[in-house]
Amino acid sequence: MSRGLGDVYKRQDKDLELIFQKLTSDRQVKQALDFLKQDAPNTIAQQKELVVIEAPTFQEKQRSLHYAQMLKAAGLQDVTIDEKFGSVTTNG
């Protein structure tokens, strides 16, 4: 018996709903989501701080340096910037 595409989508929707319910009922996930909600104004402020730094394509050095400094100020160590200043990474 062939199932229509609508049946497949309905099943996927139910599966996703169950996964979502399971995740959002987990205590640690709830804590993380609560933190993200509470920290949203800070996240937005940090984004604004970064986007006002001019960084045309292939001229991202100042923004990359500033972002690296923000990561270090947040306590991350071993922050590196690639040679084109387009990527900031951390190993700890």
Q: What residues are paired with 88 via a beta bridge?
A: 81
Position 5 scores a pLDDT of: 62
pLDDT tens string, the chain, 92 residues long: the values are 456 666 766 788 888 999 999 999 999 999 999 999 999 999 999 999 999 999 888 888 999 999 999 999 989 888 888 888 776 777 75
